[in-house]
Amino acid sequence: MSAFAYVDGRYGPINDAAILVEDRGFQFADSIYEVVAFLNGRFLDFDKHLWRLRRGLAALFIEGVMEDAVLRAIAARLLRQSRYRDGILYVQISRGAARRNHGFPKASRPTVVLTVRSFDFRQRQQQLQAGVAAITLPDQRWARSDLKTTGLLAAVLAKEEATRGGAFEAMLVNGDGIVTEGASSNFHLVDGEGRLVTHPPSTAILAGVARDGLLQLARQAGIEVQERPFGIGEARAAAELLLTSTTAPLLPVVSLDGRPVGGGVPGPLAARLGRLVWQDVVRQTGWAA
């Protein structure tokens, strides 16, 4: 079985799941989503993801979504049904189906879709040892990248270009030469003084849950954190480059546009922070590779 889905009250294999063609998620990307990791059958940082989901729904004026406790119960049932131990939960909520018209429909009920699929997080631990490559690309997304909407075309095209270039991720650079974030991750650099530098939360980036966890762990460990924009030149000259996301909790970026970053191998802060991040995963879930 490839994956399991819940769609508006029905549970089953993902290939049997369907939404209406007039769903506004399909027609307009009029929808918010979340991605939550589970390891050892336990969700990681579920509270933070639900908080961000609610913030996004409020920003889009999508109302009438069931309570968090119900979403949690659906997620738990899907997980039991799937029998997956390690994987990824997607929650996608659209404004619902209605006759096609840009303006909000007078009456519509949100469409709620949850899916679970298995994912082997051990590959991320291997990548933590080896490092990954990134390429730089212009940030062509809309001006509300803080909202996790399913309008992901610019990110999809950037990721495809990275993949074709043999890279793991695209580092997005805005018109002022500032590194905003990755196509599906947040970027951070380590400067010559060993400080961790990362773009501050703003409408230009998604404030990642993994980013938040990383900064908290770094501060607890006495590592100085600077939340400020950094440019592409600073990124190229950085001692280390790191990326974070729910599906890649911490990865060192050892090559940028084919040129080595730092020594071209994962640096000491990547190793140290990587240990802290995975210790936290184990603490939350009891996971064992």
Nearby residues of 244 by Cβ (< 8 Å), 6 or more positions away: 185, 186, 188, 208, 210, 211, 213, 214, 250, 251, 277
- Residue 20 Cβ vs ligand PMP, minimum distance, rounded to whole Å: 26
Applying the rule CB under 6 A, the residues between 42 and 81 that interact with ligand PMP are: none
User: Which residue in the set 245, 253, 255, 269 belongs to the binding site for ligand PMP (CB under 6 A)?
Assistant: 245
User: Which residue in the set 136, 186, 198, 255 belongs to the binding site for ligand PMP (CB under 6 A)?
Assistant: 186
Q: What is the CA radius of gyration of the chain?
A: 19
What whole-number distance in Å separates Cα of residue 24 and Cα of residue 109?
11
Q: Is 206 in the site for ligand PMP (CB under 6 A)?
A: yes
Residue nearer to ligand PMP on the CB measure, 31 or 108 = 31
User: Nearest to residue 199, comparing CAs of 242, 156, 142, 136?
Assistant: 242
Q: Is 148 a catalytic residue?
A: yes
Which residue, judged by CB position, is nearest to ligand PMP in the bound state? 208
Q: Is 94 in the site for ligand PMP (CB under 6 A)?
A: no
Q: Are strands 132-138 and 169-173 parallel, antiparallel or unpaired?
A: parallel
What whole-number distance in Å separates Cα of residue 179 and Cα of residue 138?
9
Q: Is 255 in the site for ligand PMP (CB under 6 A)?
A: no
Q: Candidates 22-30, 101-109, 202-210, 253-261: pick the segment binding ligand PMP (CB under 6 A).
A: 202-210
User: Which residue in the set 181, 189, 197, 281 belongs to the binding site for ligand PMP (CB under 6 A)?
Assistant: 181
69 φ/ψ sector (left φ>0, alpha ψ -120 to 50, else beta): alpha
Q: Which residues are catalytic?
A: 148
Binding residues for ligand PMP, rule: CB under 6 A, are 35, 155, 181, 184-186, 206, 208-211, 244-246
